[in-house]
Structure 1
Amino acid sequence: MADLHSYANMFAWAFIPGLATSMLQNFYYSFAYPVDHAKPQPGSVKFRRHYRNIYTLVVITYLFYTVWEANATLPANYYSILGVNSGDEFSSRQLKISFYKLSKEFHPDKNPSEEAGQTFILLRRAYDTLNEPIMRAAYDKFGPAVEKWQHVVTPRDYILTGLKSAVSFYVGTGFILIIFNILGKGQFGKFWRFISFFALACLEFSMLVSPTPFTVSGWLYPYRITYQQIALLHQLFITFFIALSQVGPVLFPSETQEIRPTINRLEMLSHIAAAESQQLMRESFAPFLRDEVAQAELKRKMEKMAVDLNLMNDLTYQQMYGQVRQRVVGRQRN
């Protein structure tokens, strides 16, 4: 199952950067602009530039931190625990000697502490896993989870079971990508994000079915075995997702985003103008509210005005009116 901590980061950093940036910007302004009237006002060019720079710094700092944290907090693999090299660079005898040396130090008979007992159990699990070739190959690709799989015997069984487990990450991540698109949080770089998503799926599938360690991932993380490299690649993808969703729209705002403040101001002014016109209309008709005779006269004149306006807009009427006017003018001249 995919790491829930990674999913929590995806959701948290969809909303936290804006809040953190506002706090840092206010903190910066309190020192850089001790006089209130000298501070850049919200919406000004200088304010937006400062916000963009601080926002980018906040997100990029977090992204580097998450990459470092993912690698630093990844638990040691069984090879590191037993002090042997990964791959086929050690014999069964070397593995047994290494386990024997470590087990003497942490054996419950010689070290009764609870921590030593847990370490001894971990050493025993590591030895049992690495000492069996089929289990060892499955562990390299899928991690300690293979120890809990039941009714799995052949390499093919391990591969099929592991692939079913790996699909859960892509189902969960794909669902989150769709949710973010629905919420409008992942519009920038949407095409490249989905391309990266499917590219990662193809890369992971190749790593899991390949009989030898994958060269590219081994170059990125030379001291990690396959399942650890996959976990780190998952974190890198999530980091890439955050980078596109957060930094992209700020560094490269769309034309719609740039004119949005102007549109909002125009919309506000139109609402104000509409409210004022309604108020003027109510004030104009206020004298007629309690005078029924005046209301009837006003209604009659407004109906006549409406008829006159319709006639003036009628082409046939305009032609007839012009002809009659010419005749009248001609008679007056004669």
Structure 2
Amino acid sequence: MWSLLRAAADESNVLAPFIAWSVFPVIGTTLALRFAYSSHFLAQPKTPAQASQHQTYARAIIVGAYLLYSLLGALVAVFRPEVANHYALLGIAYDDDGDAIKKSFRKLARQYHPDKLTDANRETGEAFFLLIRKAHDTLTDPMTRFAYDRFGPAVLDWREPKTLREYMQHGFKESILFYVFNPLFHTVLIWIHGSRVDSYWRFAHPIVTAAIEYYVLSRPVRPQLLARLFPLMTPREYVLILHHFYTALIMAFAQLGPLFPPRQYGPANAAEKQQLEAAALGLAEGIKMLSRAAEAEAGGLLVRELEPFRAPTKSKAKTLPEAAASAAAAHTASKSKNTTTGSEKESSSSSSALTNAQQTWIQLLSDRIFYMRLEAAPVVRELVRVEVAKAALERNRTAAAGNVGKSTGSPRQDKEKVSVGAVPVGAETS
């Protein structure tokens, strides 16, 4: 059992985590319930529903405990001596420069160089010297160091990349393979196991994990939070832990999903569903009726509001007598109609009909007066001109008579001459 659990922490073994997550929760739940019942920590179930509830809660606790164990195991696996990174081998910090790397290598070389070793520890010492030599060569080259920090010791076997851009492209291609084959493999195994494969988290989890990995690897420096929590780790080790978390969470969701199905909202049975549908239809019909009534009321209010601004009905009458006859007929018709419909309705209808007739008659009368004024305007202008001419002629005659009297000395004779030579006004104007 413990060997299986340790194998589940190995990233390269894809099948081991699935086997461990399939076996351990079942065995752990059985043992936990047996211990709880035997120690009287939990009473024996009296009904099948209670037994199922105990089984569900115990399974959830075991799955949560194993998930925590898997996450802690992933952290511990990174610090194992056999998988120590080059910084740990040389005993330097992640941010140390090339001088610190060379100084640490010289110090270790004086101790583990093959010429300094005895026969007792020569084999292990030579192997360790080769490791620190490789670490020194890797970290002193800035390009190789940058690629090693993000993609691990595998970059030493890459022959094609020559530039930093090529290293990053090759490394991201390797990372994409993890998010292609692992989710597909887990989906197939979960489908065989009988769980749902269309869960939202089963699709969202790989996307979120890939986004975090891209963020960690594409930055020129380590994320500040991770650097404070794990100062001795490289970005590649952060990614390894992230992959362990991904696998553990996928398996945990597969175990907890059947235990806690999604809550169903809506009717519990077919009869209740039919009742709800009938109530919904009745409510919709009532809403339609209210909507129609509201539209009719709104239309009536709009008509009453716009009534004062409506143009009067144009009468077909062409003369004043015809307009008067039409108004009288409309007034008589409104009176007869109002007599049959009631006093209140009678007054409103009569006033409305009489008002329209009066408006038509007044319109025709005003038009007639306007045309008459236009026709009389030339005559009035001519009369005014004649009166002005008469006044001017009278003034001229008076002035001429005064001049004649002064010259002859006899006003009477002058007056007679003026009266004899004068022309009658009526004859001139005619």
CA distance in 2, matches of 1:92, 1:218: 20
Matched, 1:58 2:70: no
Counterpart residue identity of residue 101, structure 2? L
Matched, 1:228 2:237: yes
CA RMSD between the two structures:
2.8
Equivalences for residues 235-246 of structure 1 within 5 A: 235-246=244-255
Matched, 1:198 2:207: yes
Aligned to 1:143: 152
* Distance apart, 1:219 and its partner CA: 5.2
Matched, 1:12 2:14: no
* Distance apart, 1:192 and its partner CA: 1.9
Q: Which of 30, 37, 51 is the matching residue for 1:22?
A: 30
Q: 1:156 to 1:96 in 2, by over 3 A?
A: same
CA distance in 2, matches of 1:158, 1:82: 24
Which digits, 9 at most, give the CA deviation of each residue in 1:270-315, with x for residues without a partner? Answer: xxxxxxxxxxxxxxxxxxxxxxxxxxxxxxxxxxxxxxxxxxxxxx
Matched, 1:117 2:121: no
Q: Which of 163, 174, 194 is the matching residue for 1:165?
A: 174
CA distance in 1, matches of 2:70, 2:126: 33
Q: Which of 64, 89, 102 is the matching residue for 2:108?
A: 102
The answer to whether the Cα contact below 8 Å between 2:191 and 2:197 also exists between their aligned partners in 1 is no
Q: 1:215 to 1:6 in 2, by over 3 A?
A: farther
Q: 1:68 to 1:143 in 2, by over 3 A?
A: same
Q: 1:220 to 1:198 in 2, by over 3 A?
A: farther
Counterpart residue identity of residue 72, structure 1? V
Bigger relative CO (Cα 8 Å, ≥ 6 apart):
1
CA distance in 1, matches of 2:100, 2:128: 20
CA distance in 2, matches of 1:19, 1:253: 26
Higher mean displacement: 176-185 or 128-137: 176-185
* Distance apart, 1:159 and its partner CA: 0.9
How many percent of aligned residue pairs carry the same amino acid? 29
Equivalences for residues 160-309 of structure 1 within 5 A: 160-183=169-192, 185-187=194-196, 190-215=199-224, 217-218=226-227, 221-252=230-261
* Distance apart, 1:7 and its partner CA: 4.3
CA distance in 2, matches of 1:188, 1:251: 15
* Distance apart, 1:15 and its partner CA: 4.2
Which digits, 9 at most, give the CA deviation of each residue in 1:1-29, with x for residues without a partner? Answer: x9233542134303431233123323433
CA distance in 1, matches of 2:220, 2:107: 31
CA distance in 2, matches of 1:216, 1:13: 31
* Distance apart, 1:71 and its partner CA: 1.1
CA distance in 1, matches of 2:153, 2:71: 22
Q: Residue 93 of structure 2: SS of its match in structure 1? A: coil
The answer to whether the Cα contact below 8 Å between 2:112 and 2:126 also exists between their aligned partners in 1 is yes
Counterpart residue identity of residue 26, structure 1? R
The answer to whether the Cα contact below 8 Å between 2:29 and 2:55 also exists between their aligned partners in 1 is yes
The answer to whether the Cα contact below 8 Å between 1:18 and 1:55 also exists between their aligned partners in 2 is yes
- Unaligned stretches of 5+ residues in structure 2: 1-9, 269-430
- Unaligned stretches of 5+ residues in structure 1: 260-334
* Distance apart, 1:141 and its partner CA: 0.4
Counterpart residue identity of residue 24, structure 1? A
Q: 1:219 to 1:187 in 2, by over 3 A?
A: farther
Higher mean displacement: 230-239 or 173-182: 173-182
Counterpart residue identity of residue 45, structure 2? P
Q: How many residues align?
A: 249
Q: 1:65 to 1:140 in 2, by over 3 A?
A: same
CA distance in 1, matches of 2:84, 2:261: 40
Matched, 1:32 2:40: yes
Matched, 1:78 2:82: no
* Distance apart, 1:30 and its partner CA: 3.5
CA distance in 1, matches of 2:212, 2:228: 14
The answer to whether the Cα contact below 8 Å between 1:21 and 1:51 also exists between their aligned partners in 2 is yes
CA distance in 2, matches of 1:194, 1:218: 29
* Distance apart, 1:224 and its partner CA: 1.2
CA distance in 2, matches of 1:253, 1:151: 50
Aligned to 1:297: none
Aligned to 2:72: 68
Which digits, 9 at most, give the CA deviation of each residue in 1:84-123, with x for residues without a partner? Answer: 1213xx2322211101111222222222422222111111
Q: 1:205 to 1:158 in 2, by over 3 A?
A: same
Counterpart residue identity of residue 159, structure 1? M
CA distance in 1, matches of 2:246, 2:218: 21
TM norm structure 2: 0.52
Counterpart residue identity of residue 161, structure 1? H
